[in-house]
């Protein structure tokens, strides 16, 4: 049992969606809880079983009620678990925190929340664990962590407990004082933040919070505070916003209590682990930033220690202090020192690469005391970064690619700033460096080297595209590289695309494409291999997109490869190669200088149409030839325009983009994915099943009714289906493209194996303005349990595109599977009652799968009648006018029954239940709870 | 300062990748959701994440030459924070995913961005960034720490420990401390320590005779071109490792580093967080600016309260005037033979007593070696024809002249091509030196036994040591290529 469950848990955590495809979350949750309750189970295993609840609480407890129940269950497990299993109990607290916070929706907190909070506070104060066992980490520390997490989620939750927390930290001498300090610092920061948001909050309120002298006003607050469901969102960092947006609390100079709380935390900060220390310092930085009466120099004593540290996170905190306080904490010497330190760290031989890259990023975003660059540009060079200082960060070929690129970028910025365009040594170095990367690529570098080189080339162009002598040289070098390694064609095209996109004013990309076209057309065909040729055609296609590039070279090249006499390439009839040729031709057909190319292009097309080895290519070449020779320029342009917009798209596509790897063809052949749900299924208000008017009964039956009744089931199709009706409608998202949908095919997939596979359904059309069509879904249960179905749809829009979309899941509720007793139609009430009596007797014996149960609740007589009327009328077997005992029979296909005897007893209404499928009991219980509660 | 999720992935150069461990922190995820509002992007499931991460790291589809998503030339300052583009179920960008790799193991996490939605703050303004980096590095050390068992098994057993380790160090997504390495043991139980507060990083109390072990290890790197147009480079850095077994809750120890007279000052000093206070002059010298001669040059005092486990007390760099071994490497192509000539000189200031000293001469992009006629003036030569590698073991001592030579010819006439390397085409070739010299440092930095102060009742035993070794010590062929 347990080992199977452990495997299930790991399968669940690997992919919850795939796991829940095979079962439902309720079943899995029930299984987990059952095992957790089991006293005999191994506690090490139990710790593992808690992980789904910690990681995916919202998935396992999708509603408040489930969350509530699960939380209560876990709390009772906690109270019952022996104290010696500290690890289990700690993990249980973590799981509880997750369940209680994540399963409720934003609006309210669960009822178990205050109880749990009390439990945590109680545990946090319980120092008795010191003397007992040898637990590595006490429950107390975990309780503090849970409290901190809850405070982070609901800021202000514990602000009335500041005094208590401060006291606990003060008394604690074991390692645990760190846990208290972390909690105290966060609560303090949140409390101060909340005061900044209140009008007229000042020194007195602050003092009251810190426990100076509690005022009556605060007492009142306390009652209204944490327990009330008022939720505040988690706070973002207060010092992260733009300068001058830090909320402030005006206290006047008198805030002794706060100052002493801060100093005592700071004094002990040395005793914390670097991670906790950094977090603490950051929180305190936030507090001091919000309270102008406390001078930032309170941090001064810690600074030297922090500046010398080897811990990335502690130095980072120092930088963040610098950013928050600038010159009120850091003099200009300090600033220069800190900056130099960053440069040192970003190339220190003992630090890891990610750390060095991080420091490099810090250099680019260094918070200067007097920033010169105004505005919020992404990366600005600090004035302190002189070329001389930056020379420590020169890229070398031995750097890993990430380091190399970020150094290259940094140095480019430095030289650009220094105005190195003309004969600067630095720029020369960068270019030489780029060339040596190119040499490595040339002599067969690995893929990573290739990618790095092209990125460095892009960076160089991006910063220095105006320095012609280098850029022209780079073009030449790239052409040579291409001739040696034609497989770099996609990289070169990508480089051209990107430079064109990012530097619209530069003509470098154009120059490169022109040069590539030239070197290709000058290559002797006899020396060209088939793979080379394919890449050449790709490059030429790209060059043909540029109206400013003369295409005569391309035409020469094409005519060179066409005649079969000159090479065996085109006569081979390679389909892909043929497409490559046609791709170039297609671009040429829309080239602005088509007039001047008319005859050679026609010759090429004609030749391909007549002699190419592949029929498909010949056909399409003929089509192009016809288009070229019969249509006017304008028409040709319209027909072949590849960015077709609007209505007549479909026609254009069929005419033009048949074989090239054009955008149109792919777009029409592809199924597009909608970004959000466009349509959904909502439950139709199905007409209430009517209680049939029964034939007023025939005489006593001779034959045994139960057997007759059962005999019907020998036919497999008998009463095996449930029919649900839905309306297919648009969702709230308005998108004009989807106002009219056609040929909608709905596909349903099961999330568990309780039902047989469902057929796809077709709906001819869905218009936003017309009434929604009704979709009838026929379910064939294997097991009569509630479930949900994934729904997706494929449809066509007016512009001819095909879309795939996912609809919100639909739920099959338990009560939707109820059917009335499928008795033969000729039977009257007496026969049904006889079946009921027979079944009741059988089930009460509780043999096999049978079970009986009792459900009680408080209901007025009238309310009971109304309830029966509303929910059970179609299923009543007894006469509805018999008010002292109602008998209802719920039939659940394929072959389950739930029998109910409902009667008012003196203390309560009793629902006596009997069923031949005991696994239905929890569901029926939920159902009864629901209907009797409303 | 919190993490939304954590992944541990193993792979072999991008192949056979699998997620060995993953953890999502539900409450932090909830915070992320509430903080980012409509721009919230949920953490994808493991399989999807793995694919996206491998693509972004350039590890996926290694057989395809160009994949636009992976190889686009548009520069994005990637590392250490990656961007993952999610397409299903909702389009969005997952940022900032931190990833660090070592050997076959990649660790990744997604820190919470606690900024208001919409704006993407610079990486350097998010404390969770550096916290994530430290935490990942700590986990990496924990997972890859040398254990008694074989590599693979050690990893498996440590991965199995991870859930309980995380419960201690990061129960709810906020990293509190780093997992303890060294032994697989859990920290000792929590004890009340009296009036003095116990540091959170000191995991227990030591009882017994006080022993303090301080060792200074220096590493020298060099890049020698023997060429006027390119300057030779070398640098030295050192670490001071300590292991202190001292009684007390917060014991005081002081270690003093000293330099010989006229020694150049220690630069770029980084100290362990357990150092209680620092004199500002200790930090002044830095390698990125020129030393004006007036800088502080010791003694360097480090008062600290040691943790129980071994740790790096401080590290430094130093500028020494000359490299310890100066080399010259000359290659000439003569018909089909390669003429090799090497001279290595040990500087007179360096102690001539090595633990080992080996020179490796690899030859790339050529056929395998056939005939090797090479003579060395000292030491032993080992020829590996399959790897096209000459290994010259110089032994424990250079001869009295402090100079050794190698002279000879190699004919590359083997039946098969040897290894290839894009950097070393034509006559571009190098010698790589591996050496270790006990009981010396290049900077002259040392710790005197008597300068170590331990404030305890019993007299402590103090052990100090020094050593120098090489790393990335290259000597390039200086004939014109």
Tens digits of residue pLDDT in A479-490: 999 999 999 999
Chain A residues near residue B272 by CB distance under 8 angstroms? 309-310
Gap from A655 CA to chain B (nearest CA, Å): 29
Contact between residue A274 and residue A315 where contact means Cβ atoms under 8 Å apart: no
At A648, the pLDDT band (50, 70, 90 cuts) reads: very low
For residue B203, what is the nearest residue in chain A, using CA coordinates? A175
Mutate to test the interface with A, among B9, B69, B73 (most CBs of A within 10 A): B73
Task: State whether B201 and A272 contact (CB < 8 Å).
Answer: yes
| pLDDT(A376) > 50 | no
Q: Is A806 on the interface with B (CB under 8 A)?
A: yes
State the Cα–Cα distance between residues A22 and A754, nearest whole angstrom.
9
At A651, the pLDDT band (50, 70, 90 cuts) reads: very low
- The half-sphere exposure of A407 on its side-chain side, counting CA atoms within 13 A, is 27
From B98, B135, B271, residue closest to A309, measured CB to CB: B271
Summarised one tens digit per residue, pLDDT across range A874-931 is 888 887 777 788 888 999 888 889 999 888 887 788 888 898 888 888 888 888 888 8
State the Cα–Cα distance between residues B247 and A127, nearest whole angstrom.
25
Min mean pLDDT across A234-243, A310-319, A447-456, B70-79 is at: A234-243
Measured CA distances, B167 to A50, B9, B173 (Å): 12, 20, 10
From A273, A361, A405, residue closest to B124, measured CB to CB: A361
Q: Is A319 on the interface with B (CB under 8 A)?
A: yes
Min mean pLDDT across A7-11, A516-520, A828-832, B252-256 is at: A828-832
How many other CB atoms are found less than 10 A from the CB of residue B330?
15
* Mean pLDDT score, A850-859: 85
At A848, the pLDDT band (50, 70, 90 cuts) reads: confident
| pLDDT(A228) > 50 | no
Task: State whether B65 and A440 contact (CB < 8 Å).
Answer: no
Q: Which residue has the higher pLDDT, B354 or A201?
A: B354
| pLDDT(B188) > 80 | no
| pLDDT(B191) > 50 | yes
Q: What pLDDT, on a 0 to 100 scale, did the predictor assign at position A280?
A: 96
* Mean pLDDT score, A364-375: 73
Find how far residue A41's CA is from the centre of its chain: 36
Give the A window 422-441 contacts with B, CB below 8 Å. Answer: 439-441
Q: Helices A508-522 and A552-561 meet at what angle, rounded to 10?
A: 30
Tokens of B136: 């990942």
At A137, the pLDDT band (50, 70, 90 cuts) reads: low
Q: What pLDDT, on a 0 to 100 scale, did the predictor assign at position A183?
A: 96
From B1, B75, B193, residue closest to A405, measured CB to CB: B75
Q: What is the ipTM of this complex?
A: 0.94
Summarised one tens digit per residue, pLDDT across range B364-411 is 989 999 899 999 999 999 999 888 999 999 999 999 999 999 999 999
How many other CB atoms are found less than 10 A from the CB of residue A216?
8
Query: Average pLDDT, whole number, for chain A?
Result: 84
From B163, B188, B195, residue closest to A47, measured CB to CB: B163
From A137, A304, A389, residue closest to B168, measured CB to CB: A137
From B26, B124, B200, residue closest to A175, measured CB to CB: B200
Q: Which residue, among B121, B116, B92, has the nearest Cα to B32 in the 3D structure?
A: B116
Gap from B401 CA to chain A (nearest CA, Å): 33
Task: State whether A314 and B273 contact (CB < 8 Å).
Answer: yes
At B229, the pLDDT band (50, 70, 90 cuts) reads: confident
Summarised one tens digit per residue, pLDDT across range A747-805 is 998 888 888 888 899 999 999 888 889 999 888 888 888 888 889 999 988 887 888 99
Tokens of B340: 């090799």
Chain B residues near residue A412 by CB distance under 8 angstroms? none
| pLDDT(A719) > 80 | no
Give the A window 60-89 contacts with B, CB below 8 Å. Answer: 87
State the Cα–Cα distance between residues A11 and A19, nearest whole angstrom.
6
Gap from B9 CA to chain A (nearest CA, Å): 13
Tokens of B274: 């357990």
* Mean pLDDT score, A655-670: 52
Q: What pLDDT, on a 0 to 100 scale, did the predictor assign at position B294?
A: 67
Q: What pLDDT, on a 0 to 100 scale, did the predictor assign at position A665?
A: 53
| pLDDT(A616) > 80 | yes
State the Cα–Cα distance between residues A516 and A535, nearest whole angstrom.
11
| pLDDT(A702) > 60 | no
Task: State whether A173 and B167 contact (CB < 8 Å).
Answer: no
Q: Is A353 on the interface with B (CB under 8 A)?
A: yes
Summarised one tens digit per residue, pLDDT across range A528-585 is 888 899 999 999 999 999 999 999 999 999 988 876 544 555 556 788 888 899 999 9
HEC-encoded secondary structure of chain B: CCEEEEEEEEEECCEEEEEEEEEECHHHHHHHHHHHHHHCCCCCCHHHHHHHHHHHCCCCCCCCCCCHHHHCCCCCCCCCEEEEEECCCCCEEEEEEEEEEECCEEEEEEECCCCCCCCCCCHHHCHHHHHHHHHHHHHHHHHHCCCCCCHHHHHHHHHHHHHHHHHHHCCCCCCCCCCCCCCCCCCCCCCCCCCCCCCCCCCCCCCCCCEEEEEEEEEEEEEECCCCCCCCEEEEEEEEEEEEECCCCCCCEEEEEECCCCCCCCEEEEECCCECCCCHHHHCCCCCCCCCCCCCCCCEEEEECCCCCCEEEEEEEECCCCCCEEEEEEEEEECCEEEEEEEEEECCCCCCCCCEEEEEEECCCCECCCCEEEEECCCEEEEECCCCEEEEECCCCCCCCCEEEEEEEEECCCCCECCCCCCCCCCCCEEEEEEEEECCCCCCCEECHHHCEECCCCCCEEEEEEEEEEEEEEEEECCCC
Q: What pLDDT, on a 0 to 100 scale, did the predictor assign at position A246?
A: 83
Summarised one tens digit per residue, pLDDT across range A409-426 is 999 999 988 886 666 788
Element (H, E) at A346: none
Q: What pLDDT, on a 0 to 100 scale, did the predictor assign at position B230?
A: 81
Sheet-wide strand order for A774-779: A679-683, A722-730, A774-779
Tokens of A88: 């289990």
Task: State whether B199 and A271 contact (CB < 8 Å).
Answer: yes
| pLDDT(A707) > 70 | yes
Q: What pLDDT, on a 0 to 100 scale, did the predictor assign at position A421?
A: 64
Q: What pLDDT, on a 0 to 100 scale, did the predictor assign at position A224?
A: 38
Summarised one tens digit per residue, pLDDT across range B145-184 is 876 555 567 888 889 889 989 998 999 999 999 988 654 4
- DSSP states of A406-424: HHHHHHHHHHHHTT-TTT-
Q: What pLDDT, on a 0 to 100 scale, did the predictor assign at position A659?
A: 44
**DSSP state, residue A243:** T
Task: State whether A312 and B133 contact (CB < 8 Å).
Answer: yes
Q: What pLDDT, on a 0 to 100 scale, did the predictor assign at position A566?
A: 47
Q: What pLDDT, on a 0 to 100 scale, did the predictor assign at position A536?
A: 95
State the Cα–Cα distance between residues A659 and B125, nearest whole angstrom.
51
pTM of the model: 0.80
State the Cα–Cα distance between residues A227 and A224, nearest whole angstrom.
7
State the Cα–Cα distance between residues A59 and A387, nearest whole angstrom.
55
Provide the b/e sequence for B34-66 (b: ≥16 CB within 10 Å).
bbbeeeebebbbbebbbebbbbbbbbbbeeeeb
From B19, B26, B114, residue closest to A236, measured CB to CB: B114
């Amino acid at each position: 049992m347990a080992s199977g469950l452990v495997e299930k848990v790991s399968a669940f955590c690997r992919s919850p969606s795939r796991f829940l495809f095979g079962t439902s979350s309720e079943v899995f949750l029930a299984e987990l809880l059952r095992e957790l309750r089991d006293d005999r189970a191994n506690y090490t295993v139990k710790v593992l079983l808690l992980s789904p609840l910690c990681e995916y609480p919202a998935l396992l407890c999708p509603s408040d009620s489930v969350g509530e129940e699960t939380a209560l269950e876990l709390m009772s497990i906690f109270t019952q678990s022996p104290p010696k299993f500290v690890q289990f109990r700690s993990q249980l607290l973590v799981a509880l925190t997750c369940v209680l916070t994540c399963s409720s929706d934003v609006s309210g907190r669960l009822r178990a929340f205050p109880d749990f909070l009390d439990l945590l506070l109680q545990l946090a104060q319980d120092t008795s664990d010191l003397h007992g066992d040898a637990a590595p980490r006490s429950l107390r520390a975990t309780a503090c962590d849970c409290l901190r997490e809850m405070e982070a989620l609901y800021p202000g939750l514990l602000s009335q407990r500041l005094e208590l927390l401060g006291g606990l930290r003060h008394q604690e001498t074991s390692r645990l004082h760190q846990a208290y300090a972390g909690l105290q610092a966060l609560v303090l920061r949140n409390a101060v933040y909340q005061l900044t948001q209140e009008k007229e909050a000042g020194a007195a309120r602050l003092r009251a919070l810190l426990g100076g002298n509690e005022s009556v006003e605060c007492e009142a607050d306390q009652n209204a505070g944490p327990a009330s469901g008022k939720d505040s969102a988690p706070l973002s960092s207060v010092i992260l916003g733009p300068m001058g947006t830090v909320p402030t609390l005006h206290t006047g100079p008198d805030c002794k209590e706060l100052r002493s709380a801060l100093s005592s935390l700071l004094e002990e900060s040395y005793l914390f682990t670097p991670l906790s220390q950094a977090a603490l310092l950051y929180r305190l930085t936030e507090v001091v930033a919000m309270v102008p009466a406390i001078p930032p120099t309170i941090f001064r004593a810690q600074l030297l220690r922090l500046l010398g540290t080897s811990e990335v996170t502690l130095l980072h905190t120092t930088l963040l202090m610098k950013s928050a306080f600038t010159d009120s904490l850091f003099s200009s010497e300090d600033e220069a020192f800190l900056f130099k330190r960053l440069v040192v760290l970003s190339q220190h031989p003992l630090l890891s690469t990610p750390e060095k890259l991080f420091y490099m990023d810090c250099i680019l975003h260094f918070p200067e005391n007097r920033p010169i660059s105004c505005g919020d540009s992404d990366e600005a060079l600090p004035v302190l970064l002189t070329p001389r200082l930056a020379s420590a960060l020169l890229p070398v070929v031995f750097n890993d690619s990430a380091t190399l690129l970020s150094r290259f970028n940094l140095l480019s910025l430095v030289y650009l700033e220094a105005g190195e365009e003309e004969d600067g040594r630095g720029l020369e170095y960068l270019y030489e460096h780029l060339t040596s990367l190119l040499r490595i690529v040339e002599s067969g570098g690995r893929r990573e080297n290739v990618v790095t080189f092209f990125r460095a080339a892009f960076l160089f162009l991006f910063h220095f595209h105006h320095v012609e002598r280098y850029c022209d040289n780079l073009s030449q070098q790239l052409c040579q590289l291409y001739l040696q390694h034609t497989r770099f064609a996609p990289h070169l095209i990508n480089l051209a695309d990107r430079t064109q996109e990012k530097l619209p004013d530069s003509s470098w990309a154009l120059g490169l494409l022109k040069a590539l076209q030239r070197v290709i057309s000058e290559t002797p065909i006899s020396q060209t291999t088939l793979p080379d040729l394919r890449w050449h055609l790709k490059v030429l296609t790209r060059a043909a997109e540029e109206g400013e590039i003369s295409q005569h070279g391309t035409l020469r090249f094409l005519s060179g490869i066409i005649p079969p006499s000159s090479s065996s390439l085109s006569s081979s009839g390679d389909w892909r190669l043929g497409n490559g040729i046609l791709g170039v031709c297609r671009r040429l057909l829309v080239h602005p200088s088509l007039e001047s190319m008319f005859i050679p292009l026609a010759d090429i097309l004609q030749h391909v149409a007549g002699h190419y080895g592949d029929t498909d290519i010949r056909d399409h070449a003929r089509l192009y030839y016809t288009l070229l020779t019969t249509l006017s320029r304008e028409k040709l342009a319209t027909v072949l325009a590849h960015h077709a917009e609007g209505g007549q798209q479909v026609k254009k596509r069929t005419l033009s983009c048949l074989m090239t790897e054009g955008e149109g063809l792919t777009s029409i052949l592809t199924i597009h994915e909608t970004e959000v749900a466009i349509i959904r299924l909502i439950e139709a208000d199905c007409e209430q099943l009517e209680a049939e008017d029964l034939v007023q009964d025939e005489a006593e039956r001779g034959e045994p009714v139960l057997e007759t009744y059962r005999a019907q089931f020998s036919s497999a199709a008998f009463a095996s289906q449930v029919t649900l009706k839905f309306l297919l409608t648009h969702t709230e998202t308005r998108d004009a493209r989807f106002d009219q949908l056609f040929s909608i095919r709905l596909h349903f997939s099961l999330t568990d194996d309780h039902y047989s596979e469902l057929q796809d359904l077709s709906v001819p059309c869905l218009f936003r303005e017309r009434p929604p069509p009704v979709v009838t879904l026929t379910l064939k249960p294997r097991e009569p349990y509630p479930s949900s179905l994934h729904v997706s749809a494929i449809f066509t829009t007016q512009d001819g595109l095909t879309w795939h979309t996912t609809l919100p899941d639909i739920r099959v509720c338990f009560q939707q599977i109820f059917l009335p007793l499928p008795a033969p139609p000729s039977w009257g009430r007496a026969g049904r009652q006889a079946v009921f009596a027979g079944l009741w007797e059988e089930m009460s014996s509780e043999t096999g799968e049978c079970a009986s149960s009792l459900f009680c609740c408080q209901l007025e007589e009238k309310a009971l009648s109304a309830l029966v009327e509303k929910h059970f009328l179609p299923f009543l077997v007894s006469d509805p006018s018999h008010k002292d005992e109602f008998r209802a029979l719920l039939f659940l296909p394929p072959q389950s029954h739930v029998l109910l005897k409902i009667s008012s007893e003196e203390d309560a209404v009793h629902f006596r239940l009997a069923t031949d499928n005991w696994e239905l009991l929890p569901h029926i219980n939920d159902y009864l709870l629901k209907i009797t509660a409303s | 300062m919190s993490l939304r999720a954590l992944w541990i992935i193993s792979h072999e150069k991008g192949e056979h990748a699998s997620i060995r461990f993953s953890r999502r922190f539900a409450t932090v995820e909830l915070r992320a959701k509430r903080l980012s509002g409509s721009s919230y992007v949920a953490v994808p499931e493991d399989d999807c994440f793995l694919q996206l991460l491998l693509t972004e790291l350039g590890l996926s589809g290694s057989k395809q030459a160009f994949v636009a998503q992976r190889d686009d030339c548009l520069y994005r300052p990637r590392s250490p924070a990656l961007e993952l583009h999610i397409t299903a179920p909702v389009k969005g960008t997952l940022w900032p995913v931190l990833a660090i790799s070592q050997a076959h193991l990649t660790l990744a996490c997604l820190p919470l961005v606690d900024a208001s939605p919409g704006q993407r703050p610079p990486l350097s303004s998010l404390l969770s960034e550096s916290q994530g980096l430290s935490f990942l590095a700590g986990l990496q050390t924990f997972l890859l720490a040398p254990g008694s068992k074989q590599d693979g098994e050690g990893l498996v057993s440590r991965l199995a420990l991870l859930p309980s380790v995380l419960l201690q160090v990061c129960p709810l997504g906020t990293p509190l401390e780093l997992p303890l390495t060294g032994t697989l043991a859990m920290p000792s139980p929590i004890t009340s320590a009296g009036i003095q507060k116990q540091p959170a990083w000191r995991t227990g109390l030591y009882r017994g005779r006080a022993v303090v072990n301080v060792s200074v290890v220096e590493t020298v790197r060099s890049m020698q071109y023997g060429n006027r147009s390119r300057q030779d480079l070398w640098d030295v850095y050192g670490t001071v490792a300590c292991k202190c077994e001292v009684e007390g809750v917060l014991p005081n120890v002081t270690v003093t580093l000293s330099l010989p007279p006229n020694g150049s000052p220690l630069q770029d000093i980084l100290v362990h967080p357990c150092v209680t206070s620092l004199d500002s002059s200790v930090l002044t010298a830095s390698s990125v600016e020129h030393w004006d001669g007036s800088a502080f040059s010791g003694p360097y005092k480090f008062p600290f309260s040691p943790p129980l486990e071994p740790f790096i007390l401080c590290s430094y760099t130093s500028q020494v005037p000359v490299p310890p071994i100066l080399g010259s490497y000359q290659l000439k192509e003569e018909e089909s033979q390669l003429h090799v000539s090497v001279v290595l000189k040990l500087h007179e200031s360096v102690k001539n007593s090595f633990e080992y000293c080996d020179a490796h001469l690899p030859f790339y992009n050529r056929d395998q070696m056939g005939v090797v006629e090479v003579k060395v003036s000292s030491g032993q030569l080992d020829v590996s024809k399959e790897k096209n590698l000459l290994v010259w073991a110089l032994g424990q001592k250079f001869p009295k002249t402090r100079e050794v030579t190698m002279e000879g010819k190699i004919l590359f006439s083997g039946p098969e091509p040897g290894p290839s390397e894009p950097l070393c085409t034509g006559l571009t070739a190098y010698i790589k030196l591996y050496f270790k010299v006990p009981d010396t440092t290049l900077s002259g930095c040392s710790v005197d036994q008597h300068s170590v102060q331990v404030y305890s009742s019993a007299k402590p035993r103090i052990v100090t040591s020094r050593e120098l070794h090489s790393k990335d010590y290259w000597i390039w062929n200086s004939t014109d290529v």
